[in-house]
């Protein structure tokens, strides 16, 4: 399960330190020609400053490791069309207001990425 670093501070799941408090995130795409055509399906506009930590039953030392479902089947890190094999993913940008504004910074097109 990848560590998730998220700089989308307007998301309700974003907590201090760029951690994602969602239990599951989904990285999606329509058609891809670059990283910015991916998006985080878990994005919810709101500033709850980690309020979802308590809703998800998290306490103590929290690690930003939600389950990552990835439908970007042409990504180098995609496994079987549904999961992400990267050790860490990053979701951006800082200024996102909608899910469609977000993107997976870690995305690498499988055909062009040598590893």
Question: pLDDT by residue (tens digit) across 11-30?
Answer: 988 887 788 888 899 999 86
Burial class (CB in 10 A: 0-12, 13-18, 19+), 102: buried
- Kindly give, in sequence order, each residue whose CB lies less than 8 Å from that of residue 69, ignoring residues fewer than 6 positions away: 24, 25, 26, 27, 82, 83
CB atoms < 10 A from the CB of 30, how many?
8
Q: Which residue has the higher pLDDT, 1 or 63?
A: 1
pLDDT value for 74: 86
């Amino acid at each position: 399960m990848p560590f998730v670093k998220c700089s989308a501070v307007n998301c309700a799941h974003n907590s201090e330190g760029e951690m994602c408090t969602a239990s599951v995130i989904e990285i999606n795409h329509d058609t891809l020609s670059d990283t910015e055509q991916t998006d985080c399906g878990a994005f919810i506009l709101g500033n709850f400053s980690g309020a979802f930590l308590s809703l998800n039953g998290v306490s103590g030392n929290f690690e930003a490791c939600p389950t990552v479902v990835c439908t970007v089947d042409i990504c180098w890190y995609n496994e079987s069309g549904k999961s992400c094999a990267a050790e860490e993913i990053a979701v951006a940008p800082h200024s996102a207001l909608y899910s469609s504004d977000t993107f997976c910074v870690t995305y690498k097109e499988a055909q062009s990425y040598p590893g």
